[in-house]
Amino acid sequence: MKGRQIALDHLNGVEAAALMVDGRLEDILFETDAPRLGTIYRAIVDRPLKGQGGVILKTPDGNAFLKQSKGLAPGQSLLVQITGHAEDGKAIPVTSKVLFKSRYAIVTPGAPGRNISRSIKDDDVRDQLAEIAHEGMAGSDMGLILRSSCFEADPDEIAEDVDAMRQLAEQVMGDAHGIEAETLVEGDSPHALAWREWVDPAGVDTTEGSFETHGVMDALDALRTPFVALTGGACMYIEPTRALVAVDVNTGGDTSPAAGLKANMAVARDLPRQLRLRGLGGQITVDVAPMPTKERRVFESTMRAALKKDGIDTVLVGWTPLGHFELQRKRERQPITGIWK
């Protein structure tokens, strides 16, 4: 099936959203028992973690870790926002730089300025958006970012979005101080997150059973195994361990001199999508197929381009002495295995 299709359904009784592009699963979001990404707390400083440059905070959902300690004292309250998912037994990662993010606007307390996405090139559109930003944030010392989704969007909808985010930010920032930990803003649900982030034109199916209708369930079944078929008969195996995610690349039946390069290029193009769908992050080690050292640069360039479209913060660490390629990826998603438990 050609084109983009968003399916809003449920998996095992929990809310879920899927994005299909030309019949292939591009993204999946699902509810879990863990606190949602983007949740904002009024947290209470508990104790410093010496040697790690951070502090443990108390929140309504358990301990959180803030990579900051300067100027903080036990018992102090502050606003923090969840930035990723915690591994089992570890504290929730948070930041004190809270953002109020919606489909068109991001309000940034503590970071003044009015900014428009650089991907919007049309001068007339930028002028119109600048006026919306000026009017919507008049009298506020908070910053505003108008997202790329504003291009060709209804100006009234953008203005409403700016106003809603500003009001929410002002309300939350005014509730920063207190003696008890409290959840001030719940992160977006999968359906709300799909509306916020999947902004390119697409069909939307909200009927029950839409996952079956659009082939989402078959695609999810394929994620149960570490095996991933690639073009030209090559394949890779993606296997998470406690320490890292191991990716093994195989050329299959191709014995040509360029077999290794072709397999590795297929991995570079598809690995970010596979990691996103499987909800994997942390340290990623790729055992690439044999290829000439001079081809490493084109492999890196292809991987970098795929990661740019992916949207989840990932650092290309580089090559090890054994010839493995390493990445460090933000734990922004819960592992897909959670939906089958």
Query: What pLDDT is recorded for position 167?
Result: 97
pLDDT tens for each residue of 88-119: 788 999 999 999 999 999 999 989 999 999 99
Residues 48 and 14 in one domain: no
How are beta strands 282-287 and 245-250 bridged, if at all? parallel
> Based on the domain organization, do 317 and 233 belong to the same domain?
yes
Whether 238 contacts 274, CB under 8 Å: yes
Residue 295 lies in a domain: yes
How does pLDDT run across 211-228, given as a tens digit for each residue? 999 999 999 999 999 999
Res 141 pLDDT > 80: yes
**59 and 121 share one domain:** no
Residues 48 and 109 in one domain: no
The reply to whether 208 and 250 lie within a common domain is: no
pLDDT score at 341: 60
pLDDT digits (tens, 9 = 90+) for 83-94: 999 887 889 999
Q: Are residues 24 and 122 in the same domain?
A: no
CATH number at 294 reads: 3.40.630
User: Would you say residue 106 lies in a domain?
Assistant: yes
Q: Is residue 25 part of a domain?
A: yes
- % of the chain with per-residue pLDDT over 90: 86
Do 251 and 325 share a structural domain? Answer: yes
The count of structural domains within the chain is: 4
In a domain, 221, yes or no: no
Do residues 60 and 71 share a domain? yes
Whether 52 and 81 map to the same domain: the answer is yes
- 326 and 231 within one domain: yes
Parallel, antiparallel, or unpaired for β 325-329 and 282-287?
antiparallel
d(CA 15, CA 211): 12
Average pLDDT value for residue range 125-149? 96
In this structure, the answer to whether residues 52 and 129 fall within a common structural domain is no
Residue 181 belongs to a domain: no
* Whether residue 65 is found in the same domain as residue 107: no
Question: For the segment 162-201, what is each residue's pLDDT rounded down to a tens digit?
Answer: 999 999 999 999 988 888 999 999 999 999 999 999 999 9
pLDDT in tens, 30-74: 999 899 999 999 999 999 887 777 999 999 999 999 998 788 889
Q: How many CB atoms lie within 10 A of CB 76?
A: 13
Range of the domain at 200: 4-31+195-216
* Residue 2 pLDDT: 83
pLDDT, residue 255, reads: 84
Rounded average pLDDT over 319-335: 95
- Map the chain to HEC letters: CCCEEEEEEEECCEEEEEEEECCEEEEEEECCCCCCCCCEEEEEEEEEECCCCEEEEEECCEEEEECCCCCCCCCCEEEEEECCCCCCCCCEEEECCCCEECCCEEEECCCCCEEECCCCCCHHHHHHHHHHHHHHCCCCCCEEEECHHHCCCCHHHHHHHHHHHHHHHHHHHCCCCCCCCEEEECCCCHHHHHHHHCCCCCEEECCCCHHHHCCHHHHHHHCCCCEEECHHHCEEEEEECCCCEEEEEECCCCCCCCHHHHHHHHHHHHHHHHHHHHCCCEEEEEECCCCCHHHHHHHHHHHHHHHHHHCCCEEEEEECCCCCEEEEECCCCCCHHHHHC
Domain membership of residue 188 (yes or no) is: no
Q: Say if residue 340's pLDDT is above 70.
A: no
pLDDT band, residue 125 (cuts 50/70/90): very high
Segment 270-299 shows an average pLDDT of 96
**pLDDT over 90 (residue 9):** yes
User: How does residue 207 score in pLDDT terms, banded at 50, 70 and 90?
Assistant: very high
CATH at residue 86? 2.40.50.140
Residue 196 token pair: 């916020």
Q: Is 186 a member of any domain? A: no
